[in-house]
Structure 1
């Protein structure tokens, strides 16, 4: 399974939902980067993704986007393929 990285904040229902979706697909470890605690991390996230909102999810080297994007991948049957090594 590919590594998953997620930019998050402490109080974010979309972050919680994204983690639930990933857990339902067998993801047991997520590298979580809290942008509410680290302004430099938020700047880096915005530079990399062009987005200000959280979560911002990466699976391997692929920027998935946010929770809605993750949900769309799941519904399209593409999330398991992306997670596979």
Structure 2
């Protein structure tokens, strides 16, 4: 299992990004969470098989139709403690 923490910048709040990401992660069998941040970015922890994580991260560079992603910062991370992919409150 591999895990990454990502911060996604651009027009990513108010466009359904978190709900879209929950659907995509669930479809791919990726675990973790996603949340808005007060600085208008979206933060996520994604974990799973390397191939599935890479597919999700690639999709995150496009996002849902109304999003305009300008940057993704990515770091290695520890996997989440709980299974599934969750939408968390703003952090």
TM-score range, shorter chain: 0.3 to 0.5
Q: Which has the higher contact order (CA 8 A, sep 6+)?
A: 2
The structure in which a higher percent of residues are strand is: 2
TM-score by length of 1: 0.34
TM-score by length of 2: 0.32
The structure in which a higher percent of residues are helix is: 1
